[in-house]
Amino acid sequence: MELCQVVAESFPSLCASWTVLPGDRVALAGPAGCGKSLQLDVIAKKALIASGHITFAPAVRRLALCRRDFQPQATAGDLRTVREWLLEDCELPGCSLVEVSESLDEHQEPERWLQHLGITCLSDTALSDLSTIDAVKVGIARLAMRHPNVLLLDDVTDDLGLEASECLEACLTADPPIFETILIASRDRTFMDNVCNKVIAIHAGATRVLNGVYTKAYLAGGDFLHFRRFSLWQPKSSGLRATQAACAFASLISRSLCGEHASDLTGLTLVDVGTGTGVLALILAQEWEKARGSLKQLQIYALDIDETAVRIAAANFSSSPWAANMCPPFHSSLEHWQIDQIATQEHPIVFVCNPPYDDEILNARTGTDNEKLSRRRALERSFLPLDVLCTTALRLGCRSLWILWGNAEDAPVQEAAAHTGWRVIQQVRFQRSVQSSGPFATAWQLCSHADFCAKGAPTSDTVFWYDISGAPSDAWWELVGALYYWRLRKIKRDTLVGALTVHNWAEMAAFAEQVQCTVLLEAALMMGLRQLLPHLLASLLVNT
């Protein structure tokens, strides 16, 4: 029996069609910003859709949507007992109940659920005395007392420690189940692996259903990203927002190195430290060629401590139009890499780096030992400390150092620069929108103290990914969208307007080819098929 069917269109960002059944524990999968939380909001009647429908089976009477803080949040001295908190009528800040159909009044029965979860002894315990694990169980008991048929969870593990996350996993997979059906949107891959038995993957604004655990059903393999002059393969685990930030970062560097103020720069040696998939080096090659006509006078070198990353970057380099001009990436740590390993330098040296920035990574429990080590090397700052990066760049005669710092902290970059003889020349924050609490990444340009006076006063700016209407901003298009075609929701406004001005499907197909928009091309071909099919069928009719 179908428990919930979703057929939703929220053009241009989302077209979803999928069904869940009793017993399904579903992971919503897709890159950041693709519509995972939006789909949960649509199901919970907190967001409207342009067209389509959400259909629930008659047995579905109530939904629960939780965004963190489903467990009691007690302050020191909170004397409320667990039983008193369970019987409180108010909603939790991060949770809401949605009535789908008329529900019968159910008995609260706190003792039943405390017993089911093995915490009957906590009934008279003060909230302030609960451990984090017990708080999770008490929070689940309160949700269970409301009898939701479908539980929707959105990033509920973000503020939970390892033990609390594992406790939540055990509650959600209990036998017999506490909740009939569960839908989860989360960045914690291990959590989704351990809980979910089905994946709904969101890609290019559409959805597809995959059976199996998250990492095997969804993360296996990778995607090709198509830029103006090259295609780049990256693992699905890389993340869309991180890749877009790298693109914006590369655009800023290109403006500095290839703009009108750099006309006296006759050549350059570019070193991509921690190259990963090689996306920074390849975009910079693309933009240098666009500005200068060729890669003459540009030497690009890349290195990474992770062997898997080096293999991916090497494959992307060799399949690019500049394979003959780019050395294979070095498999080396920065401390052990010497610039005298390459040709004698005749041009200024510029370092670019997207260093790891986390103290403790989110998905440390997922994958083989090698996969865990690769993830730690990519995300944990101890594998490439900023002091080491700044000191080594200065020692190797680097003229300019560009750093993409992947969180909202300014102090680590400022302190490393001050301690090692660098000065900040430019700071550009990348922020989702004006409503966001802060940037998700910041681009820094540093130069040595000796060159600081010639560079002028430091500048600071903020680039918003989306405008107040929720559409990609003009700044986003200049830095990211102009590099290559992303997805339907990222189609530029004038592209859509242009598509609406054509007179027939053939003109639309030609226009789609011109702007390199595969989604519009597919739509044009479908329009053409609908128009031509009756004529084709009529030509096959035989008069009797």
- What is residue 194's predicted lDDT score, i.e. its pLDDT? 87
The pLDDT > 70 percentage for the chain reads: 73
- What is residue 314's predicted lDDT score, i.e. its pLDDT? 92
Contacts 24+ apart (CB under 8 A), 205-213: 205/12, 205/13, 205/14, 205/15, 205/34, 205/35, 205/487, 205/488, 205/489, 205/519, 206/15, 206/16, 206/17, 207/15, 207/16, 207/17, 207/18, 209/18, 209/19
Backbone angles phi, psi at 177, to 5 degrees: -70, 145
Confidence of residue 498 (pLDDT cuts 50, 70, 90): very low
Q: How far is CA 63 from CA 6, 101, 144, 179, 184, in A?
A: 15, 10, 11, 10, 13
DSSP run (H or E) holding 242? helix 240-258
Confidence of residue 413 (pLDDT cuts 50, 70, 90): very high
DSSP 543: -
> In whole angstroms, what is the distance from residue 494 CA to residue 249 CA?
25
Domains of the chain, each with CATH number or no CATH: 4-217 (3.40.50.300), 222-490 (3.40.50.150), 493-540 (no CATH)
pTM score: 0.63
Confidence of residue 18 (pLDDT cuts 50, 70, 90): confident
Q: How many alpha carbons fall within 13 Å on the CB side of residue 328?
A: 9
- Using alpha carbons only, what angle is made at residue 532 by residues 527 and 537, rounded to the nearest 5 degrees? 135
- What is residue 462's predicted lDDT score, i.e. its pLDDT? 93
Confidence of residue 382 (pLDDT cuts 50, 70, 90): confident
Confidence of residue 449 (pLDDT cuts 50, 70, 90): low
pLDDT, mean over the chain: 77
Backbone angles phi, psi at 278, to 5 degrees: 90, 10
> 387-400 pLDDT, tens per residue?
999 999 988 888 89
- As a whole number of Å, the end-to-end CA separation of the chain is 48
User: Is the pLDDT confidence value at 327 over 80?
Assistant: yes
- What is residue 362's predicted lDDT score, i.e. its pLDDT? 54
Q: Which two tokens stand for residue 424?
A: 């900040």
User: Which residue did the predictor score with more confidence, 430 or 34?
Assistant: 430
The pLDDT > 90 percentage for the chain reads: 16
